[in-house]
Structure 1
Amino acid sequence: MTLPGHHPDLLRVDDLEIASGWVFGRTRAPQIPRTGGARAVLEAVVRESLAAAPTFVGFSGGRDSSLVLAVAAHVARRDGLPLPVPLTLTFPGVAGADETEWQELVLAHLGLRERVVVRVTDEMRLLGEAARAGLASRGLVFPAVAQVDGVRLAQATGGYLLTGEGGDDVLNRRRGTPLYLLRRRLATPALPTRRLLREVAGALRPVRTLPRGRYRDALPEWLRQDAASEAASRLAADDTSPLRWDRAVHGLLGSRATHVVLNNLSVVAREHDVRYVHPLVDPRFVGALAVDGGAWGFAGRTDVMRRLAADLLPDAVLARTSKAWFNATRWGPEERAFARSWDGSGIDRDLVDHDVLRASWATTAPPAAAELLLHAAWIGSGGASRSPG
C-alpha cells in the first residue's frame, strides 16, 4: 500500500495505520530535569526562536495558537526582541473554518499590527497541484496535510514557525481529573453531583478492565472486522492512562503518533528553510506542567489556560469551548471525482471495506482518517507517476 520513500528522514507508517488513520505504539518518554514552572519554561522555549531569527506563529484564533502567540509577544516586549508575526490561513466560503472574530479579538488585545494572511482556495486540497507533487517526490506521508504544508511554510522561509500543535493533548483533562474535582467539591458545603460521582467511579476503574468496544468505537467504520480487532488491540496496548495527573501528562511524551507527526512536519519544513517549533509539546514544557500539576492536576483545560496566561489573554479566549474544523478545506471537486471513479487500487480489501470508505469520502466533510487513504488510492491508481515533480 505504500510507495517507497524518497526522503530517508521521513517516518513511515504501516498498512494498518494507513487503513485506520491512526499511529500506534509507544516510544521511551525522556526524563526532563525541572528548570522552573510551566509558564517560565514556555517563555524560555519561545524565546529561543525570537532571539535567533524572524519568528512567525501559525495563528488560527484557537486557544492553543493564541496561547503561544500571547506568550511570544510578551517575551519579545519584555526582552526587547522583534515581535512575532502571526501567520494565518483563511478559507473563504468554508463553513466551520471562519475564525475571524476570535482572531481580531486576540490581535487587538495583544496590540499586534503586523500580520501575514494567506487566502486559501484550492491550494491545500488533497489532490491539488501541491499535494500531487508532494506524493510524487515524498511518497505517502502521515499526516496527509504535510503534503500541502508548503502553502504556509513559504511565508516563513528563513525563519522559525511556532505552532500550538499538541495543545489538545497536553492541556486537556486526564483520567484523574474527576478526582481533583471531587476533592475540590468536598472542601465546600456542596455535595458532589451524581454526574461527578459517576465520573470518579469510571476514573477509578482499572484500564485493563475497560470493554474492548471502547477502543473499537474510536476507529473508523470502514475497517474490516479482523483489521478493527487488531487495531483495537494495538490501541488498548498503548492505553496506559495513569491515574496520577503528572504521570499521565509526562506519558504523552512517549506517543509514537506525536513523534511521527512532528518529525514529518519538520522534514517538510526544512525543504522550505523553515524550522518548526511546537512549544506545547516541547519536553521541557510538558515536564514542567506535569510537575506543576503534581498527582492531582488541575480542573480541566480552561483551568490550565488561566494558570498559564490569565494576564495575557481575554478570559473569553481562555475559556472558549467552540472549535473550528478544517477537514472540509481539503476536499473539492477533483477529490470527489477521483473517489467516485476509484477502481479499488492501492488499498487492501482485507483491511478496508471499499464501499464504506467510498461513502465516507462522499460526505460533506470526510474525517481526517480518510485523507491518507485517498493518497494511498491515488498512488495505487498510478496518479503519482502522472504528477508533476
Structure 2
Amino acid sequence: MLRPTPFDIASGTVLGVGPPTLRVVPPVAPDPLAALGRAVLPALRRPPCVVSFSGGLDSSLVLAVAVRMARWEGLPDPVPVTWRFTGAPRADESSWQDRVVAALGVGASWEILRADDDLDLIGPVAGRFLHRYGVRHPVNLHLHLPLLELTRGGSVLTGLGGDQVLSGWRRPPPRSARARLSRVQVLARELSRRHRPRRLFPWLPAETARQVNRALRAEQRAEPRRLGPRVAWHLRRRDLVITRSAFTAVAEDHDVTPVHPLLDHGFLDALTALAGRRHHTSRDGLLAEIVGDALPPEVTAPRRKAHFRDVFLRTPTREFVRSWDGTGADPELVDVAALRDTWSRWPIPGGTAALVQQLWLATTPPPAPRFPPRATPIRALPPAGGQRAGADAEVSG
C-alpha cells in the first residue's frame, strides 16, 4: 500500500505526477457506455456486488450501468449502499438518491447507513481504521470501512476517478455574458486584495508554505487542456495513485474485490476516442453524450455538487483540536504555535485534516481487544423483492 509522506500529511496536499508510461492500446470500442458495461462485469460476477452510491453523477452512472449489465447477463442485481448524515445539510443528496433508485427499480435491496458523529475524522469508525491502517490518503477513506465489512467475500463498485477524468481542475469558459461579467468581477476583487496577501498554509513554517503553494500552483497550471492528455495526466498523479492503492489494500484485507469502472482503461480509451481532442467539456454534458437515451434521464440530470466537510468535522475533532497541547508534531514540518492558533477557530482548514488524524493517533493508544458482534454480510440479507433488509440501518463504532 502506498502511503502519504510526512510532508504530504503536514501540508494536506499530495502533489507530484509520474512520468508517461508506454501501454499497448487494444482496439478501442466505439461506444464508451459499452466499455463501461464490460468494466463492471468482474464485480457483478463476484456477488454480493455492492455499489458505493451517494446519488452524485458518478455513482449514479456506475449504479445504472451495473443494473443494466446484471439484467442483461442474468446476474444478481448490484446492491446500492448509501450513507445519510445528520447535521450536514450540504451533504444531503437524498432527493437524487430516491429518484435514481426508483428509476432503476432497486429500492428493495437498497441499504441506507446513517451516521451522526460516526464518520468524524477521529470518530468511532475512523478510530478503528486509523489504529489498523494508520493515516492514509484520502483522509475520508474510513467512510468505506463499514461498507467493506458488510461486503466481505464480494465486490464493490465505486465512482472513483470521476472528478479527474470527467472534469478536472480547469474551468470551462463562461457560457453567458452575465457569467463572464461575474468572472471579471471576481478577478477584480482578487487583484484588489493583492496588497493584503493572505498567507496560505498558515500552520506550516513560512518558507515551507511558500514552497507548497508554488508546487500546487505549478501542478494546477500543468494540467493539459485537451481531454485525452488530461485523462492520461491525472492517472499519473500521486493523488489518484495513492488513493487507488489504499482503497485496494483495505478492500482486499476484507476479501472484497474493488472495481473502479471510470478508471478502466477500456472505458478511458473509448472516452478519449470520442472526445479526447476537446478543450472544454462539462461533466454533465459529457455524461449525457455517453449515455444518450440508454439509461433513465435521472441518472445524468445536472445536480448540485454535495460538500462533505460537515460530515467529517464533528464533535470528536472539535474537542481534540481545542485540547491539543502540541504533543506529537514534528517542528521541522509544522509550526506548532501557528497550528494551535489555526485550530483555535472553527471550522478548521481541510488541509489540516491529515494532521488531526496523525496527532490523534500519536496520542491515543488503541483500545483493549474486544469481540463485538460481527456485521451481517449483505449476502445473508433477504433477497431483493422482500422487505428492505438493511434500509435505515444505524452504524456505530
TM band (smaller chain) = 0.7 to 0.9
Identity of aligned residues (%): 35
- In the TM superposition, 1:359-370 aligns within 5 A as 361=343, 365-370=347-352
Match of 1:243 among 213, 225, 228: 225
2:205 is the counterpart of 1:224: yes
Three-state SS of the structure 2 residue aligned to 1:88 is strand
Matches of 1:345 and 1:231, distance apart in 2: 24
In structure 1, the partner of 2:34 is 40
Q: Deviations over 1:64-102 (max 9, x none)?
A: 110110111111122222111101111133322222111
Q: 1:361 to 1:287 in 2, by over 3 A?
A: farther
Contact 2:225/2:280, CA 8 A, preserved across alignment: no
Where does residue 170 of structure 1 map in the other structure? 165
Q: Secondary structure at the match of 1:25?
A: coil
Is there any run of 5+ residues in structure 2 with no aligned partner, and where? 184-193, 370-397
Name structure 1 gaps, 5 residues minimum.
1-9, 183-191, 200-212
**Cα 1:39–1:91 shift into 2, 3 Å:** same
Q: Deviation at 1:306? A: 0.2
> CA shift at 1:136, angstroms?
2.8
Q: Identify the residue that residue 21 of structure 1 maps to in structure 2.
A: 12
Determine if contact 2:84/2:114 at 8 Å carries over to the other structure: yes
Q: Give the letter for the 2:116 counterpart.
A: T
- The CA distance in 2 between the partners of 1:351 and 1:145, in whole Å, is 22
Indicate which of 78, 89, 97 corresponds to 2:91. Answer: 97
1:318 aligns with 2:300: yes
Matched, 1:277 2:271: no
- Give yes or no for contact 1:47–1:75 (8 Å, CA) kept in 2: yes
Trace 1:341-360 onto structure 2 (pairs within 5 A). Answer: 341-354=323-336, 357-358=339-340
Which deviates more, 168-177 or 332-341?
A: 168-177
**What is the rounded CA distance, in whole Å, between the counterparts of 2:172 and 2:199 in structure 1?**
21
Letter in 2 for 1:258: L
| 8 Å contact from structure 1 (residues 98, 324) kept in 2 | yes
Mapping for residues 331-346 of structure 1, pairs under 5 Å: 331-346=313-328
Query: Structure 2 CA distance, aligned partners of 1:197 and 1:279?
Result: 38
1:176: Cα distance to partner? 9.0
3-state SS of the aligned residue for 1:149?
helix
Corresponding position of 1:68: 62
The separation in 1 between residues aligned to 2:198 and 2:153, in whole angstroms, is 43
Distance in 2 between the 1:386 and 1:356 partners?
A: 28
Runs of 4+ deviating beyond 6 Å: 194-199
| Structure 2 counterpart of 1:155, from 150, 153, 161 | 150
**Which structure would you say has the larger RCO, counting Cα contacts within 8 Å and 6 or more residues apart?**
2
Aligned-pair distance for 1:316? 5.7
What CA distance in whole angstroms lies between the structure 2 residues aligned with 1:87 and 1:244? 34
Give the partner amino acid of 1:246.
G
Contact 2:57 2:300 in 1 (8 A): yes
**Where does 1:170-319 land on structure 2 (aligned, <5 Å)?**
170-172=165-167, 175=170, 178=173, 220-236=201-217, 238-239=219-220, 240-296=222-278, 299-313=281-295, 315=297, 318-319=300-301
CA contact (8 A) 2:83 2:113 kept: yes
Bigger mean CA offset, 99-108 vs 315-324: 315-324
In structure 2, how many angstroms separate the alpha carbons of the residues matched to 1:176 and 1:294?
Answer: 17
CA–CA distance in 1 between the matches of 2:204 and 2:36? Answer: 40
Partner Cα distance (2:351, 2:131) in 1: 21
Residue 106 of structure 1: CA displacement? 0.5
- Counterpart of 1:279 in structure 2: which amino acid? P
Checking the alignment, whether the CA contact within 8 Å between 1:53 and 1:160 is kept in structure 2 is: yes
What one-letter code is carried by the residue in structure 2 that aligns with 1:152? L
Aligned residue identity for 1:129: P
Please report how far the alpha carbon of residue 314 of structure 1 lies from its aligned counterpart in structure 2 after TM superposition.
Answer: 5.0
| 1:176 to 1:103, Cα distance in 2 relative to 1, 3 A | closer
Most deviating of 302-311 and 25-34: 25-34
Q: Following the alignment from structure 1 to structure 2, what is the Cα–Cα distance between the partners of residues 311 and 359?
A: 54
Q: 1:225 to 1:50 in 2, by over 3 A?
A: same
Task: State how far apart, in whole Å, the 1-side matches of 2:301 and 2:199 are.
Answer: 27
**1:313 to partner: Cα distance:** 4.9
Distance (Å, rounded) in 1 between the aligned partners of 2:166 and 2:335: 36
What is the deviation of 1:292?
1.4
| Distance in 1 of aligned mates of 2:18 and 2:280 | 26
How many Å separate the matches in 1 of 2:106 and 2:316?
38
Shift of 1:297: 5.1
2:133: which partner in 1?
138
Counterpart CA distance in 2 for 1:336 and 1:106 is 35
1:109 alignment counterpart? 103
Give distance in 1, aligned partners of 2:139 and 2:85: 18
Alignment partner of 1:96: what SS?
helix
